[in-house]
Amino acid sequence: MVSLNGCVAVVTGASSGIGEAIAIDLAARGATVVATARRKDRLDALAAAHANIHAVACDVADAESVKSMVAEVVSRFGRIDILVNNAGLGLTGYATQITLEEWKEMVDVNVMGVLNCTHVALGHLIDAAKGPRGVADIVNISSVAGRKALPGSSVYAATKFAVNAFSDGMRQELASKHVRVSIVAPGMTESEMIYKIRPDLLAKIRATLEAMPSMTAAEVAETVTFVVTRPAGVAVNDLLVRPTEQER
């Protein structure tokens, strides 16, 4: 496993759940981690508990907020070696229940958030890949929903299909520049996201969680760390990770 000492990693959606766990795991491996999210109080608590984690508030759906965040990161730390696009929103519900504004909010965060962060950070990642490590990384957190749409999650699934398509196109564009682009797609994971699901769907998911052990956020984070600690000549482009008992 390649050391992350000297690397600067930006992790979006890091105020809870998978993003928080990714920030902690990358910091434990030696990276300087910039944890970003909208909830500054949660970020500050995370940074206070971990010496290698630094808090910078950011709304990934707002392009100007992203530009400000990246400028602050580069001003303070001089580089960006790893970008983990983790911020996501799952306002799950049937089309007859959910509003158009909620659909748009998912697209703004799950798709435009990834595009905003990638576009603004890209030049810094390309520059970092020219350094001693010889590579830089973009890791986009997708979902099993990016492989199969289910009733009640059609737009959420659409956003994750979009992330997958964007990731593979970027992978091909950036391969010669030594910027690896990877998808990590978790299955059922205990996180705050399930509490944004409407009660009828939440009851079904709760029943699934009770019948089948889900993954922890820390287990997903270990997968992300595995991806970014491969030797410079090795790219892990697409990882689908499910609980052993999850069938779909």
Give catalytic residue positions: 156
Beta bridge partners of 137: 82, 180
| Kind plus residue range of the DSSP H or E element containing 247 | none
| Kind plus residue range of the DSSP H or E element containing 89 | none
Would you say how long the chain is, in residues? Answer: 248
- Ramachandran category for residue 178: left, alpha or beta (phi over 0 → left; psi -120 to 50 → alpha): left
Structure tokens at 15: 């105020």
- Single out the residue of 127, 157, 130, 129 nearest to residue 142, CA to CA: 157
Residue 70 CA to residue 168 CA, distance in Å, equals 23
Question: Any residues with CB less than 8 A from the CB of 229 and at least 6 apart, and which?
Answer: 1, 2, 3, 4, 29
Q: Is 238 helix (H, G, I), strand (E, B) or coil?
A: strand
Phi, psi of 181 (to 5 degrees): -120, 120
Beta bridge partners of 186: 241
Residue 171 CA to residue 235 CA, distance in Å, equals 10
| Kind plus residue range of the DSSP H or E element containing 125 | helix 113-129
